[in-house]
């Protein structure tokens, strides 16, 4: 018998519509026998079964739901089936990289699994998943036979779950400091043990290909360059030059190596360690201009209260970027803040164009790659959006 939680009256609708979160405010009563991390059945105020998930009273998201079928047991077979289903439709070559499990969007709340060739990198974002690491590791080994499974749960969100950060080997061999992957015919070195996220911005994979349509013969400014994903993509699509800017010297070092690895020109002066917000002003003061500017800043809005401040930063960045573009140039601009909706982002970019005194046309809309699917019942899973604007 599972422990039970009872919802307040009239709080059942989102659960019936399969939203995977139950906020603490919707809960009337929790069985006293249940511990955080345990499986619980969620019932209406009338006692009707709605769904089953795992509990954590410490989090505002008190329950994350796993199944809406009363007859479906959440046992080893359940995890095996969910993992197999998520992996089954990600078609990839032996040396490629993909997100295999995108948490809630794959029916596995709190769990991220990324595959880099023969290595699997796992993030356990919640207490419920953290306790299941041994089972998940065992099932991933049986399903995919990786050379090694490595954990990268060194993320701030674990604090909200009462968890410390954790990283290290979970099974098999420990990955090397640099794992080489192949993407779209290019090679990239990925620092899976210390890099951002699980090492690479897999969510931008399809966009790295798409930007190639805009860069032939162009002088490109690549803002927030990280390890050079867009730099390699642009240079190999015949960009005349790419200046990559990032505040971290370490990532720029890897960016330069990635450009070289693909036999592309990597001049030291094309990798600039600087704060982007001040660097673009410096370029403007020097009257420098570019044909294409890519801007992919980090998540600027972490909470509802930060949206306004983030909007100002996005506007400021895009405004100066537009002023640096030659007539007919392209601004390829992103926001990965889930709280900034596509509609709001477009308004921000519009405001930037107005203040920059430039006309702009949207020629393409971009989003997160298809291995980061958006669950219709969970619109929060959509976070990355981009606009390709032709600026006149
Ligand atoms: N475009 C990259 C991902 C960018 S992630 C890709 O596709 O791989 C954001 C990057 O911005 C990180 O590398 C981080 O080091 C850098 N960054 C964050 N704040 C910055 C700032 N104020 N100025 C310059 N770089 C910054």
Mean pLDDT of 89-117: 98
pLDDT tens digits, 250-279: 999 999 999 999 999 999 999 999 999 999
Residue 345 near residue 309 (C-beta atoms within 8 A): no
CATH architecture assignment, domain 76-172: 2-Layer Sandwich (3.30)
pLDDT tens digits, 348-371: 999 999 999 999 999 999 999 999
Residue in 192, 201, 224, 293 to alter for ligand 1 test, most ligand atoms within 8 A of Cβ: 224
Q: For residue 381, what pLDDT is reported?
A: 96
Mean pLDDT of 84-93: 97
Question: From atom 9 of ligand 1, which residue's Cα is the shortest distance away?
Answer: 298
Mean pLDDT of 70-89: 98
Q: Which atom of ligand 1 is nearest to the CA of 200?
A: 8
Q: For residue 2, what pLDDT is reported?
A: 80
How many whole angstroms separate alpha carbon 60 and alpha carbon 24? 5
Distance 195 CA to ligand 1 centre (A): 12
Residues 6+ apart with CB under 8 A from 217: 238, 239, 240, 291
Distance 266 CA to ligand 1 centre (A): 19
pLDDT tens digits, 146-190: 999 999 999 999 999 999 999 999 999 999 999 999 999 999 999
Residues 6+ apart with CB under 8 A from 190: 97, 116, 178, 179, 180, 181, 199, 200, 227
How many whole angstroms separate alpha carbon 335 and alpha carbon 316? 13
Q: If DSSP codes are grouped into helix, strand and coil, which group holds residue 273? A: strand
Mean pLDDT of 373-389: 97
* Token pair recorded at residue 281: 């002003």
CB within 6 Å of ligand 1 — which residues? 201, 204, 224, 226-227, 229-230, 246-248, 251, 275-277, 296, 298
Distance 225 CA to ligand 1 centre (A): 6
Residue in 97, 226, 231 to alter for ligand 1 test, most ligand atoms within 8 A of Cβ: 226
Q: Does the structural domain 201-391 have CATH classification 3.40.50.150?
A: yes
pLDDT tens digits, 213-233: 999 999 999 999 999 999 999
Question: From atom 21 of ligand 1, which residue's Cα is the shortest distance away?
Answer: 275
**What are the beta bridge partners of residue 30?**
5
Distance 252 CA to ligand 1 centre (A): 10
pLDDT tens digits, 126-135: 999 999 999 9
- Catalytic-labelled residue, pool 336, 349, 375, 391: 336
Handedness of CA 85, 90, 92, 98 (dihedral sign): negative
Task: Give the H/E segment covering residue 305.
Answer: none
How many whole angstroms separate alpha carbon 223 and alpha carbon 331? 11
Residue 339: name the closest of 386, 295, 376, 303 by CA.
303
pLDDT at 1 over 70: no
Residue 390: name the closest of 318, 311, 325 by CA.
325
Q: SS in 3 state form for 76-119? A: HHHHHHHHHHHHHCCCCCCCCEEEEEEHHHHCCCCEEEEEECCE
User: Is 336 a known active-site residue?
Assistant: yes
Residue in 200, 247, 292, 336 to alter for ligand 1 test, most ligand atoms within 8 A of Cβ: 247
First to last CA, the chain: 66
Q: If DSSP codes are grouped into helix, strand and coil, which group holds residue 197? A: coil
How many whole angstroms separate alpha carbon 284 and alpha carbon 286? 5
* Token pair recorded at residue 201: 């911005």
CATH number of the domain located at residue range(s) 3-67 in this protein = 2.30.130.10
Q: For residue 21, what pLDDT is reported?
A: 98
Please give the residue that has the higher pLDDT: either 380 or 2.
380
Average pLDDT of the chain is 97
Any idea where the domains of the chain sit in the sequence? Answer: 3-67, 76-172, 201-391
Handedness of CA 233, 200, 331, 276 (dihedral sign): negative
List phi, psi (to 5°) of 38: -75, 160
List phi, psi (to 5°) of 96: -85, 175
Distance 342 CA to ligand 1 centre (A): 20
Q: For residue 355, what pLDDT is reported?
A: 98
The two domains 76-172 and 201-391 share their CATH topology (first three levels equal): no
Q: How confident is the model at residue 104 (pLDDT cuts 50, 70, 90)?
A: very high
Q: Where are the beta strands (DSSP E) in 235-384?
A: 241-246, 271-273, 290-295, 325-335, 360-367
Residues 6+ apart with CB under 8 A from 181: 95, 96, 97, 116, 117, 187, 188, 190, 200
């Amino acid at each position: 018998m599972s422990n039970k939680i009872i919802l307040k009256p009239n709080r059942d609708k989102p659960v019936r519509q399969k939203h995977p979160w139950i906020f603490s405010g919707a809960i009337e009563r929790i069985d006293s026998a249940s511990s955080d991390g345990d499986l619980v059945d969620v019932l209406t105020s009338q006692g009707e079964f709605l769904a089953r998930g795992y509990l954590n009273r410490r989090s505002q998201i008190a329950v994350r739901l796993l199944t809406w079928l009363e007859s479906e047991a959440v046992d080893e077979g359940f995890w095996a089936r969910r993992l197999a289903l998520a992996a089954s439709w990600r078609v990839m070559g032996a040396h490629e990289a993909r997100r295999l499990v995108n948490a809630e969007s794959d029916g596995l709340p709190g769990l991220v699994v990324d595959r880099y060739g023969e290595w699997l990198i796992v993030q356990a974002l919640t207490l419920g998943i953290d306790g299941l690491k041994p089972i998940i590791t065992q099932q991933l080994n049986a399903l995919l036979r990786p050379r090694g499974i490595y954990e990268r749960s060194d993320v701030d969100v674990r604090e909200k779950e009462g968890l410390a950060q954790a990283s290290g080997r979970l099974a098999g061999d420990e990955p090397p400091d640099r794992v080489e992957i192949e993407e779209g015919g290019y090679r990239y070195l990925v620092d899976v043990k210390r890099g951002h996220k699980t090492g690479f911005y897999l969510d931008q994979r399809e966009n790295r290909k798409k930007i190639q349509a805009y860069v032939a013969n162009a002088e490109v400014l690549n803002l927030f360059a990280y390890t050079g994903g867009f730099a390699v993509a642009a240079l190999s699509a015949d960009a005349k030059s790419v200046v990559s800017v990032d505040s971290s010297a370490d990532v720029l070092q890897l960016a330069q190596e990635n450009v070289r690895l693909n036999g592309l020109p990597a001049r030291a002066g094309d990798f600039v360690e600087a704060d982007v917000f001040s660097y673009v002003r410096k370029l403007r003061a020097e009257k420098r201009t570019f044909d294409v500017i890519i801007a992919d800043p980090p998540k600027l809005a972490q909470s509802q209260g930060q949206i306004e401040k983030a909007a100002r930063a996005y506007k400021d960045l895009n405004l100066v970027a537009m002023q640096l573009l030659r007539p007919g140039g392209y601004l390829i601009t992103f926001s990965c803040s889930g709280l900034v909706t596509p509609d709001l982002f477009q308004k921000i970019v519009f405001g930037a164009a107005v203040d920059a005194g430039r006309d702009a046309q949207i020629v393409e809309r971009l989003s997160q790659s298809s291995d980061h699917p958006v669950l219709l019942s969970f619109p929060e899973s959509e976070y990355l959006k981009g606009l390709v604007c032709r600026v006149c």
